[in-house]
């Protein structure tokens, strides 16, 4: 994990004993509705989100986007109250969109969407300024409650993700180079070929691998890969 220490409690608005969010009441006037931009490259998922939002009297879907470039453009055009942003898009990571939008609109409220519950990308998203992080398998009630909570100025991560983050606080994060090497190992690439592809020596590759095992608390490459997949450091 990186040197910046996050206060996990400040992000978790769930009551961990009941697994429910604080109740939100009243539907505002239409002009005061929570406006939403949803970014995802799966049409059926976008359609599902649109249906959920259409049934909320205090929300309005301004638009959708399926690429990183379109997401940034749509945000500039619509200036939504909330952006729901997929972590993985065809042309770039959702983290790139997050950083780009917040560099231009620091007050933007962005909730990351993902199928992964590992701590690595969550940590990156929260440190990048995301207001929340939600798993795509959440139910409709949780989704709309999170939107209302973030719109009200609160921050959110699911309880199970918060627990994973807490478990890994204080551990040293892998560097970008170490993640690159771990991805090469996952593809079955040998040290010499990894060095050639990354323009580094074989000894440097071995040194990086030792650091990777140490940081992940792994005894060998196989265990390192298993840990990295579970924590969302690499994906297949």
pLDDT digits (tens, 9 = 90+) for 1-60: 443 344 544 555 444 333 434 444 444 455 589 999 999 999 999 999 999 999 999 999
Tokens 């231009």, residue located:
104
Ordered by start, the domain boundaries in the chain are 8-168, 176-230
Q: What are 152-168's pLDDT values in tens digits?
A: 999 898 887 777 777 76
- Does CATH number 1.10.10.10 belong to domain 176-230? yes
- The helix or strand, by DSSP H or E, that contains position 145, with its residue range, turns out to be helix 140-151
232: closest CA among 161, 156, 128, 157? 161
Residues in the chain, total: 236
Biggest CA-to-CA distance, the chain: 65
CATH of 8-168, one of 3.20.20.30, 3.40.50.2300, 3.40.50.300, 3.40.50.920: 3.40.50.2300
Partnered with residue 85 across adjacent β-strands are 39, 112
d(Cα 194, Cα 142) in Å, to the nearest integer? 43
Tokens 């139910």, residue located:
139
Question: How many CA atoms lie within 13 Å of 135's alpha carbon, on the beta-carbon side?
Answer: 14
d(Cα 136, Cα 121) in Å, to the nearest integer? 15
Q: What are 84-105's pLDDT values in tens digits?
A: 999 989 999 899 999 999 999 9
d(Cα 23, Cα 177) in Å, to the nearest integer? 44
Is the separation of the CB atoms in 156 and 20 below 8 Å? Answer: no
- DSSP, collapsed to helix, strand or coil, labels residue 159 as helix
């Amino acid at each position: 994990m990186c040197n910046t220490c996050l206060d996990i409690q400040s992000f978790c608005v769930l009551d961990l004993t009941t697994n429910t969010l604080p109740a939100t009441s009243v539907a505002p006037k239409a002009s005061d509705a929570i406006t939403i931009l949803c970014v995802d490259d799966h049409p059926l998922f976008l359609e599902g989100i649109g249906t959920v939002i259409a049934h909320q009297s205090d929300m309005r879907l301004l638009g959708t986007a399926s690429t990183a470039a379109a997401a940034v453009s749509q945000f500039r055009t619509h200036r939504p109250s909330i952006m729901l942003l997929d972590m993985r898009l065809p042309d770039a990571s959702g983290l790139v969109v997050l950083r780009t939008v917040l560099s231009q609109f620091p007050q933007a409220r962005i909730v990351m969407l993902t199928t992964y519950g590992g701590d690595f990308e969550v940590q990156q998203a929260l440190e990048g300024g995301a207001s929340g992080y939600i798993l795509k398998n959440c139910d409709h009630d949780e989704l709309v409650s999170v939107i209302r909570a973030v719109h009200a100025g609160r921050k959110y991560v699911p309880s199970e993700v918060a627990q994973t983050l807490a478990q890994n606080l204080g551990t040293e994060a892998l560097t970008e180079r170490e993640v690159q090497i771990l991805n090469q190992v996952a593809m079955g690439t040998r040290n010499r070929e990894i060095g050639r592809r990354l323009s580094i020596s074989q000894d440097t590759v071995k040194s990086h691998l030792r650091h990777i095992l140490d940081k992940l608390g792994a005894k060998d490459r196989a265990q390192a890969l298993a840990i990295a997949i579970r924590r969302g450091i690499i994906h297949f």
